[in-house]
Chains A and B, each alone.
Chain A
Amino acid sequence: MQDLIRRYGVGLTGLMVLLVAFWLLMLVIIPNITLFESSFRPYLPVVEMGGPKDVYSPNNYLKVFDGSVETTILGMTFMVPVHIRTFFLTIWYSVTVTLACFVLAYPVAFYLAKIANPKSVPTLLLLLFVPLWVSEVLRAFAWWIILALKGPLNSLLLSLSLIDKPVRWITDYDAVLIGLVYTYILFMLFPIYNAISSLDTNQIEAAEDLGASRWRIHWRIVLPHSKPGIASGAVMVFMLSAGSLLVPSILGSTTSQWFTQTIQQWMNDALDWNTASAYAFLLLFLCTAFVSLVMWIFRVKLSDIAK
């Protein structure tokens, strides 16, 4: 702060602080507070708002326990409330997306950071970025076309004789997973790439010199070093996947339901913004709790991620 004032003077510093404060307040804090407040109020006709029925209660939150469906887990059948089922499936598939992103991104990140010729790395990174120039909606639609039953992917696989009849990709959660992995993989790739880049190549060589195999070098040297990068990548991919609405809406099938879609239905179809707010906060809090739990299990600190 002192430093800023010395460098830019009181006026400019004041303006900067003001703008940041405005941004935080108007775009982050106030909307969230409004949403949080309304999540505890019942959905009422306009005339009854502020009337005797308009009292705070956790009822909106408790709606997740309504309406049970039969669910089979590990061969056993339970009655599970439908929204809770959606929530757990969202978490489960977001975890799957996160793991898939990690498995795909780690080798690429390692290749870029340690094997590729440093001169060609900027070009490769640029190529990775190119898809981001197209809007997310278009990209999701592109995948919808690619994965269609009579789409390019099936014709390609058929012409290569890798399959003998078209595969139905857009079924259950399959296409959603493919779309989410594609959309968010760079959020995994770059933190890991950064982390591995900062690893001294001599350490890899020292390990090899001491007799370590390729696997052990990764297990004992590269992975532990890149843990913070992996953690921040995983947190981002998980949160973004769980919070994604676009990809599940476009690439979803009749049997797939994402928790964000449920929120959207409360908001757009039921026009009940209060319950929608409650569900949105539920998603936020539970995901945060889940991420914290996983971070605690893997002994990752928040300060590691912020690096």
Chain B
Amino acid sequence: MSAGIDLENVVCDFGDFRAVDHVNVSIKPGEFFSFLGPSGCGKTTILRMISGFTEPTQGIIRIGGQDVRGQRPNQRPTALIFQNLALFPLMTVWENIAFGLEVRGVDKAKRRARADELLRLVDLPGAADKYPSQLSGGQRQRVAIARALAVEPAVMLLDEPLSALDLKLRQHMRAELRAIQKRTGVTFIYITHDQGEALAMSDRVGVMSQGRIQQVADPREIYNNPVNGFVASFVGENNIFDGTVVNPANGMAGYETALGTFRARLGALATGKGVKLFVRPEHTAISLTAAAENSVPVTISEVSFEGSFISIQGKAAGGTTLVAEIRNDGAATVPAIGSAAFMSFDPARAAILPDAETRR
């Protein structure tokens, strides 16, 4: 029912612009896989190559182990959910959902029954005879999902399907999508530029930049062990220090900066020039006395109360601003603005990474 997808050295050129650059990914059957990256990095292009609307310039795409080069979209076992959903406005909801069955010559009574069944699956009973224009954004979303599921695809391709929805609905639909994926067992390939969405929903995430895959890993790994500065910055906030690596040994190294010498993990790819030290604000502690290591004296410049956590900004010597986020356990003491304090971090929670994207 569900199929894996293999992209082998896939390249896509538009004229002399390279939109997708040697992408290698293996997506497992039944996996929820997200491509995450900024606008214009080639996510949609990858999806269009998998669904058959765009042919790769180079490389092989396999669906369920089969090379699909030369197959038209209507011959591939994929179903694409478009960014704007592309529901058929002149058909009722049930006709929309049953369109794929109509194409396959299923008779009307069976189509109607299947449409009703799918409407129950996506939790939208009673909308069968409405037109898409009579539905809300979230309801249309569900119709689009049902329409794609109706053809029993081995792979569902979703192009930022939630981007048009408001925050509340988006969060609700995330859970819903995830649940539908688990229920149906279909391989989902999900595209988004929202890192929260990718991390929350996916089994694995492929982070992209400028047509290249930067890192493929599960969400925790992506967040906790980004391979480079691009990934680290794209999936979260960082305190970034600029300096040089000294005494590397056993995966750890010293890092000499204007604010002193720190100790941190040395990323695998962090060699030569252009490496920086990245620390997440929530891994940055604040104290009134200096910590044993990796400690920076700061003057508190801003405190913002975010509810579940408190974000504290401190100015270090030379004007560098550091951010520490502390959990609001109800008793957290917050230093006053203008007071002196120390910000510090655990060497195991700080990483020396190549600053730029990894090129091949």
Contact = CB atoms under 8 A, between A and B. Distances in A.
Contact of A205 (B86, B88, B147): B86
B84 A209 contact: no
B90 interface: yes
Interface string A214-225: 001000110011
A210 B86 contact: no
Given A208-B73, A209-B51, A224-B90, A200 B84 contact: yes
Given A203-B86, A205-B73, A210 B51 contact: no
A221 B74 contact: no
A210 B72 contact: no
A208 B72 contact: yes
B149 to A, nearest CB: 11
Given A210-B147, A211-B104, A213-B74, A220 B82 contact: no
Contact of A216 (B84, B103, B150): B103
Interface residues of A, number: 17
Contacts, number: 57
Nearest to A216: B103
Given A209-B51, A211-B151, A202 B82 contact: yes
A129 to B, nearest CB: 30
A226 to B, nearest CB: 11
Residue of B72, B84, B86, B147 ringed by the most chain A CB atoms within 10 A = B86
B53 interface: yes
A4 interface: no
B99 interface: yes
Nearest to B99: A210
A13 B167 CA distance: 48
A261 B235 CA distance: 78
Interface string B110-149: 0000000000000000000000000000000000000110
A69 interface: no
Contacts of B87: 206
A200 B90 CA distance: 13
A293 interface: no
A203 B87 CA distance: 7
Given A205-B53, A206-B80, A213 B86 contact: no
Contacts of A203: 86, 88
Q: Is the interface of A mostly helix, strand, loop or mixed?
A: helix
Given A202-B82, A221-B88, A210 B53 contact: no
B304 to A, nearest CB: 41
Contacts of A225: 90
B63 interface: no
A211 B84 contact: no
A206 B86 contact: yes
Contacts of A29: none
A212 interface: yes
A302 B79 CA distance: 38
A95 to B, nearest CB: 26
Contacts of B299: none
Nearest to B78: A209
Contacts of A209: 51-53, 73-74, 78-80
Given A213-B103, A224-B90, A206 B74 contact: no
Contact of A212 (B51, B52, B74, B90): B74
A267 interface: no
Contacts of B52: 209
A66 B87 CA distance: 58
Nearest to A227: B90
Interface centre among A203, A208, A211, A224 (most CB of B within 10 A): A211
B100 interface: yes
Contacts of A221: 88
A38 to B, nearest CB: 47
A207 interface: yes
A102 to B, nearest CB: 20
Contacts of A224: 90
Contacts of A208: 72-74
Nearest to B48: A205
Most buried by B among A205, A216, A221: A205
Nearest to A212: B103
A271 B84 CA distance: 64
A210 B100 contact: yes
Contact of A206 (B78, B82, B102, B104): B82
Interface in B65-84: 72-74, 78-80, 82, 84
Contacts of A206: 80, 82, 86-88
Interface in A178-199: none
Nearest to A225: B90
B142 to A, nearest CB: 16
Contacts of A211: 74, 100, 103-104, 151
A203 B90 CA distance: 11
A208 B82 CA distance: 13
Interface of A: 200, 202-203, 205-213, 216, 220-221, 224-225
Interface of B: 51-53, 72-74, 78-80, 82, 84, 86-88, 90-91, 99-100, 102-104, 147-148, 150-151
Given A206-B86, A209-B73, A221-B88, 17 more contacts: A200-B86, A203-B88, A205-B53, A205-B86, A206-B82, A206-B87, A207-B88, A208-B74, A209-B52, A209-B74, A209-B80, A210-B100, A211-B74, A211-B104, A216-B103, A220-B91, A220-B99
12 contacts: A202-B82, A202-B84, A205-B82, A208-B74, A210-B74, A210-B100, A210-B148, A210-B150, A211-B100, A211-B151, A220-B99, A221-B88
Leading 10 A-B pairs by shortest Cβ distance: A202-B86, A210-B100, A206-B86, A211-B103, A211-B74, A209-B73, A212-B103, A202-B82, A209-B80, A224-B90
